[in-house]
């Protein structure tokens, strides 16, 4: 049996001429072994077969069946290489174009793959869902979407619905100061976690026990890199660290897990056991939506049906119709969520779609170059085709030959693209601001993409030229009466129009993106943050009432000292600094009404706490009423609202509601506040979102200070004073302008990415245009000669060529400009505050395309226009 | 000088083909080398040496009779060509001249 199998293999690889006698020898040896009763004769046979696998004995790889085909392929290869070597410009333009196109395509696709991979690495990623709140208005319409839910939601849904296999609830803390030995760390990535957290989210546990690490209050689990920052390379389980704020407590490290990858919507550095949550965290209150609630649903759960059931359960506990639940897959959050209060900035599906379009455009532009140029040089190949046909070539053979050429060009382009991708990866990572992959060669999907699109490219770019070239009629060609076919010329024109349109769209798109960015960065946001620094006052470590009073008076004298300095204009305090991200604010879904004016109104209302100097420090304007006054005791129950609040609730003229009473909630005699002022709207965060209806409450000890300078020399003074008042805490300040600038990092990146790839696409298109112009001018040189003899001037000749190209640009404009409008207008719609669609830019982009085309074509046309007619026509 | 490329193993195989004269086919050559040199020879090594030398022209081959013992496959007999003979001669001459030129004292060990 084994012997037979070995023989089959041997027959397969052995040279057919040698097979019979060698196999005979093996057989004879085998029978000899059998006769001598030697051990394992079959095995010996196999070993012999294996050892026979030698270069001298194996079947030749080539020319085994039909040697003629191979010879033809060798010939195609040779002719292709010669043609490519002869047409150096043609080859260079195509290889460069294809390489740029493929490189861009591969890199952009890796980025897209990365963006789409968010949260898919969890073991049951498909069954992981988040429960969020939809805030309803009085008519039951969805007014706001809040990513957070109340703590109880998870537990209740688990109890009531069998589809919920498991759940976890987590709270994301703001900045927490932690002391470890002598060092103080400001941690911004701490979240709470229960013992289910690591069962839903798949993170490898390195030290500690998954089952027990969250059992005790004040237990903390760190990621590897944080653990290293605190404790070095030792196993930190059992070590302790001190939390300074918001809790004063000692934390025990109970575990270390692997670092959280970039591609999750909920990143963290440390997990604090949720038993550490205190009463202040309101985890037993349905109204306190400050938690992210995640469910592990049973396989094949119908999400729509489940959501309906969940809402039925929800109604049992919250029947006032203020809100309902929304259940969505965690994998959709990063790209698709439009909820507020997300734990971190999200990606944008629109940007991804734009990038997909750009990457495909670039690739097609490169392919179009090949199609255009290879049909343009058809005239020169016509004789070869004619002769081949005369000596008996079939059409399909010629098709294969020209596909061969496309294959070679694409192959070279592909190889160059691969190395380019590897080399450019660091720059690309920088451009998009994320490290998506480290090496091109070790990343299989990229290699796979390269091979697939190289093959597709070969077929797409090679097929049309192959059909055109192989379709020539030998008799016409050899008689010299050959003309480019009408349909061929039209196709080529159409392709050039396509390239011009793409260039136009990309140039205009880039400018529009930058214009919107510029608009957002320089827009009047309603406040003046110039020369304003912000600094966070450390939390009091007071343990008794007296100590706390002492802390407050120290805080007050610090502010007073600053105010007395000539170079400092104002010192204000707030709960939420301007220029934070969208979720850096407080909110309530409690209904509010203004007594005597309105009914109770639903929808989210945002709340910010300010002291009496905050408005002055950031230049917020009052349009009615007055600011808080520290001296007036009654102001502790006073509030201010903003214009948007009035607009949202259809309130009358601001002056009319000054002194009126605003009431929170449904209880008759509670939650009453006096409106003392109405402030002008200002954008606390990006211009992407509208100014929210906001209520400003007084908090005289607001601890995020904003300090307005008259001149920046005051900075030294502030630092000095800080050292006096808070000697233990470093003076960690920043400028508000920088905070606002950081808000647009994503837009800036998108703009830069757009710019780079639009630039590349335009370069490829221009390369193609240059090649095309040179071929066309060459082919029309005879016509130019005749025209010159008949008295045409150089200018007239140049005019003829330019009208040819500018007609095409004209058609491109007709297609391109509406598309620019359609695409970019929808992009601009993402922004609550956007520029009007700039028609002028579309048209100036058209001029840019025109000028670029003009310059590209200029050299070739002037060359052909200056030709000596006698030289051209002599050959006739 | 004309070059005869003859490896050590090839030379042994070629000599053995000569020794066996009319009976030089695969198994016989293998057996002869194994019994004279007291070393194992794999079919693969020997066959590839034979085919290489055949390509170089040192040996000729002809197919022999079909044999039932061999599963109905013919034997392939090898014979030395004139060129092969020259190659052997050359190889021997080179060795002999080297051998002769060794000063007597060098081998008095």
**Beta strands B73-80; A704-709: pairing state:** unpaired
The pLDDT mean for chain A works out to 86
Q: What are the residues whose beta carbons fall under 8 Å from the beta carbon of A494, sequence distance 6 or more?
A: none
- Note whether A57 contacts B75, CB cutoff 8 Å: no
Distance from the Cα of A24 to chain B's closest Cα (Å) equals 5
The C-alpha angle A493, A450, A757, rounded to 5 degrees, equals 55
Distance (Å) of CA A666 to CA A320, A600, A601, A671? 10, 8, 11, 9
pLDDT-derived band of residue A536, with 50, 70 and 90 as boundaries? confident
pLDDT, tens only, A297-327: 999 889 999 999 999 888 888 777 778 899 9
Mean pLDDT of the region A368-377: 87
Distance from the Cα of A20 to chain B's closest Cα (Å) equals 6
pLDDT-derived band of residue A59, with 50, 70 and 90 as boundaries? confident
* Segment (H or E) for A698: strand A694-698
Structure tokens given for A2 = 């084994």
| C-alpha closest to that of A439 among A451, A421, A456 | A421
At residue A821, the pLDDT reads 92
A760, pLDDT greater than 60: yes
pLDDT, tens only, A374-416: 888 877 788 888 888 888 888 888 898 889 889 999 999 999 9
Among B25, B70, B76, select the one facing A27 at the smallest CB separation: B70
Rounded CA-CA distance A556/A550 in Å is: 10
A258, pLDDT greater than 90: yes
pTM: 0.75
Residue of A nearest to B50 (CA): A56
Distance (Å) of CA B36 to CA A9, B3, B21, B29, B79? 32, 28, 16, 11, 19
At residue B1, the pLDDT reads 43
Burial A119-135 (b: 16+ CB within 10 A, else e): beebeebebbbbbbbbb
Burial B48-80 (b: 16+ CB within 10 A, else e): bbbbbbbebebbebeeeeeeeebbebbbbbbeb
Rounded CA-CA distance A568/A558 in Å is: 13
pLDDT-derived band of residue A816, with 50, 70 and 90 as boundaries? very high
Which has more confidence, A153 or A38? A153
Residue that is written with structure tokens 């060794």 in the block: B102
Q: What are the residues whose beta carbons fall under 8 Å from the beta carbon of A492, sequence distance 6 or more?
A: A371, A372, A375, A376, A772
B33, pLDDT greater than 60: yes
Mean pLDDT of the region A466-487: 75
Question: From start to end of A385-536, where are the E strands?
Answer: 532-536
At residue A326, the pLDDT reads 92
At residue A485, the pLDDT reads 63
pLDDT, tens only, A23-42: 888 888 888 888 888 888 88
pLDDT-derived band of residue A481, with 50, 70 and 90 as boundaries? low
Q: Chain B neighbours among A 41-80 (CB < 8 Å)? A: 47-48, 50-57
Q: What are the residues whose beta carbons fall under 8 Å from the beta carbon of A189, sequence distance 6 or more?
A: A267, A268, A269, A270
- Note whether A22 contacts B69, CB cutoff 8 Å: no
CB distance A543 to A671 below 8 Å: no
At residue A367, the pLDDT reads 93
Q: What are the residues whose beta carbons fall under 8 Å from the beta carbon of A111, sequence distance 6 or more?
A: A355, A428, A432, A434, A436
Mean pLDDT of the region A424-443: 85
Interface test with B, best of A21, A29, A43 (most B CBs within 10 A): A21
pLDDT, tens only, A85-101: 988 888 999 999 999 99
Tell me whether A26 touches chain B (CB under 8 Å). Answer: yes
Rounded CA-CA distance A478/A469 in Å is: 14
- Note whether A20 contacts B48, CB cutoff 8 Å: no
- Note whether A48 contacts B43, CB cutoff 8 Å: yes
Query: Concatenated DSSP letters for A304-362?
Result: HHHHHHHHHHHHHH--SSSEEEEEEEHHHHHHH---BS-SS----HHHHHHHHHHHHHH
B64, pLDDT greater than 50: yes
Tell me whether A211 touches chain B (CB under 8 Å). Answer: no
At residue A631, the pLDDT reads 83
- Note whether A24 contacts B67, CB cutoff 8 Å: yes
A62, pLDDT greater than 70: no
Rounded CA-CA distance A513/A502 in Å is: 16
pLDDT, tens only, A706-754: 999 888 788 888 888 888 888 877 788 889 988 888 888 888 888 898 8
Structure tokens given for A351 = 């940007």
At residue A225, the pLDDT reads 92
A63, pLDDT greater than 70: no
For chain B, the residues whose C-beta falls within 8 A of a C-beta of chain A are 25-27, 30, 42-45, 47-49, 51-52, 55, 63, 67, 69-71, 73-76
A417, pLDDT greater than 90: yes
Can you say whether the dihedral through the CA atoms of A202, A206, A209, A214 is positive or negative?
negative
Residues of B in contact with A21 (CB under 8 A): 25-26, 63, 73-76
Residues of A in contact with B70 (CB under 8 A): 24-25, 27-28
Can you say whether the dihedral through the CA atoms of A596, A602, A603, A607 is positive or negative?
positive
CB distance A185 to A227 below 8 Å: no
Among A182-186, A422-426, A467-471, A611-615, the minimum mean pLDDT is found in A182-186
Structure tokens given for A189 = 């990535």
Residues of B in contact with A10 (CB under 8 A): none
pLDDT, tens only, A602-618: 778 889 999 988 988 88
């Amino acid at each position: 049996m084994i012997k037979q199998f070995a023989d089959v293999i041997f027959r397969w690889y052995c040279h057919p001429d040698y097979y019979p006698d060698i196999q005979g020898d093996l057989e004879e040896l085998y029978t000899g072994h059998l006769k001598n009763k030697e051990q394992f004769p079959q095995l010996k046979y196999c070993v012999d077969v294996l050892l026979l696998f030698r270069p001298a004995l194996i079947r030749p790889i080539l020319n085994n069946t039909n040697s003629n085909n191979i010879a033809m392929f060798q010939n195609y290869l040779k002719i292709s290489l010669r043609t490519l070597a002869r047409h150096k410009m043609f080859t260079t333009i195509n290889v460069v174009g294809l390489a740029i196109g493929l490189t861009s395509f591969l890199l952009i696709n890796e980025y897209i793959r990365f963006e789409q991979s968010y949260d898919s690495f969890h073991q049951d990623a498909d069954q992981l869902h988040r429960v969020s709140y939809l805030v309803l208005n009085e008519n039951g319409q969805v007014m706001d979407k809040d990513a957070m839910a109340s703590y109880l939601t998870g537990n209740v849904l688990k109890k009531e619905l069998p589809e919920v296999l498991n759940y976890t609830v987590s709270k994301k803390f703001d900045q927490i100061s932690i002391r470890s030995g002598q060092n103080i760390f400001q941690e911004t990535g701490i979240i709470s976690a229960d013992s289910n957290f690591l069962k839903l989210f798949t993170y490898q546990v390195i030290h500690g026990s998954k089952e027990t690490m969250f059992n005790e209050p004040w237990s903390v689990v760190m990621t590897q890199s944080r653990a290293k920052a605190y404790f070095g390379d030792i196993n930190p389980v059992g070590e302790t660290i001190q939390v300074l704020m918001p809790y004063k407590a000692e934390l025990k490290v109970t575990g270390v897990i692997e670092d959280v990858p970039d591609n999750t919507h909920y990143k963290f550095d440390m997990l604090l056991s949720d038993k550490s949550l205190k009463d202040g965290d309101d985890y037993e209150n349905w109204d306190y939506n400050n938690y992210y609630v995640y469910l592990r649903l049973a396989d094949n759960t119908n999400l729509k049906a489940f959501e309906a059931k969940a809402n039925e359960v929800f109604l049992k506990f919250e029947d006032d119709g203020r809100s309902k639940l929304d259940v969505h897959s965690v994998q959709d959050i990063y790209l698709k969520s439009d909820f507020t209060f997300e734990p971190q900035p999200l990606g944008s599906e629109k940007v991804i779609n734009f990038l997909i379009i750009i990457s495909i455009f670039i690739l097609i532009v490169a392919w179009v170059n090949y199609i255009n140029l290879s049909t343009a040089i058809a005239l020169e190949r016509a004789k070869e085709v004619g002769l081949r046909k005369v000596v008996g070539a079939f059409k399909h053979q010629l098709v294969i030959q020209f596909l061969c050429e496309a294959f070679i060009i694409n192959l070279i382009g592909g190889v160059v693209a691969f190395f380019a991708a590897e080399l450019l990866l660091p720059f690309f990572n920088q451009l998009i601001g994320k490290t998506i992959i480290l090496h091109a060669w070790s990343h299989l999907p990229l290699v796979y993409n390269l091979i697939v699109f190289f093959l597709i490219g070969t077929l797409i770019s090679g097929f049309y030229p192959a059909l055109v070239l192989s379709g020539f009629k030998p008799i016409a060609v050899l008689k010299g009466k050959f003309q480019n076919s009408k349909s061929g010329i039209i196709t080529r024109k159409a392709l050039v129009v396509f390239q011009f349109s793409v260039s136009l769209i990309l140039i205009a798109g880039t400018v529009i993106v930058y214009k919107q960015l510029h608009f957002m960065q320089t827009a009047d946001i309603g406040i003046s943050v110039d020369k304003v620094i912000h600094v966070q006052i450390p939390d009091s470590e007071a343990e008794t009432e007296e100590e706390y009073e002492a802390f407050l008076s120290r805080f007050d004298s610090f502010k007073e000292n600053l105010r007395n300095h000539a170079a400092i204009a104002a010192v204000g305090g707030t709960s939420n600094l301007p220029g934070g991200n969208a979720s850096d604010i407080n909110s309530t879904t409690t209904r509010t009404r203004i007594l005597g004016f309105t009914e109770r109104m639903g929808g989210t209302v945002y709340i910010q706490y300010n002291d009496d100097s905050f408005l002055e420090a950031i230049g917020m304007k009052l349009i009615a009423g007055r600011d808080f006054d520290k001296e007036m005791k009654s102001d502790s129950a006073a509030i201010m609202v903003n214009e948007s609040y009035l607009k949202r609730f259809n309130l009358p003229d601001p002056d009319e509601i000054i002194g009126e009473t605003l009431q929170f909630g449904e209880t008759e005699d509670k939650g009453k506040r006096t409106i003392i002022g109405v402030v002008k709207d200002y954008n606390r965060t990006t211009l992407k979102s509208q100014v929210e209806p906001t209520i400003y409450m007084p908090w005289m000890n607001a601890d995020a200070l904003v300090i307005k300078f008259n001149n920046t020399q005051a900075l030294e003074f502030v630092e000095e004073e800080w050292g006096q008042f808070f000697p233990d805490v470093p003076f960690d300040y920043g400028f508000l302008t920088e905070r606002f600038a950081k808000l647009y990092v994503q837009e800036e990146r998108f703009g830069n990415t757009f710019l780079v790839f639009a630039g590349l696409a335009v370069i490829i298109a221009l390369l193609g245009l240059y090649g095309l112009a040179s071929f066309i001018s060459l082919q029309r040189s005879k016509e130019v000669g005749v025209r010159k003899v008949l008295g045409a001037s150089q200018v007239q000749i140049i005019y003829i060529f330019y009208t040819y190209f500018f007609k095409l640009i004209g058609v491109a404009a007709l297609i391109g400009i509406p598309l620019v409008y359609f695409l970019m207008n929808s992009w601009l719609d993402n922004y609550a505050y956007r520029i009007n669609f700039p028609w002028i830019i579309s048209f100036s982009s058209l001029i840019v395309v025109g000028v670029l085309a003009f310059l590209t074509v200029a050299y070739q046309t002037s060359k052909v226009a200056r030709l000596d007619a006698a030289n051209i026509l002599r050959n006739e | 000088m004309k070059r005869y490329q003859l490896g050590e193993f090839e030379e042994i195989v070629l000599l053995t083909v000569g020794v066996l004269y009319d009976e030089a086919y695969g198994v016989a050559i293998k057996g002869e080398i194994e019994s004279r040199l007291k070393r194992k020879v794999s079919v693969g090594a020997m066959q590839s040496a034979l085919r290489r030398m055949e390509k170089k022209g040192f040996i000729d081959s002809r197919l022999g009779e079909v044999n039932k013992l061999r599963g109905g496959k013919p034997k392939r007999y090898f014979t030395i060509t004139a060129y092969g003979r020259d190659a052997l001669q050359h190889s021997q001459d080179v060795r002999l001249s080297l051998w002769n030129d060794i000063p007597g004292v060098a081998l008095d060990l």
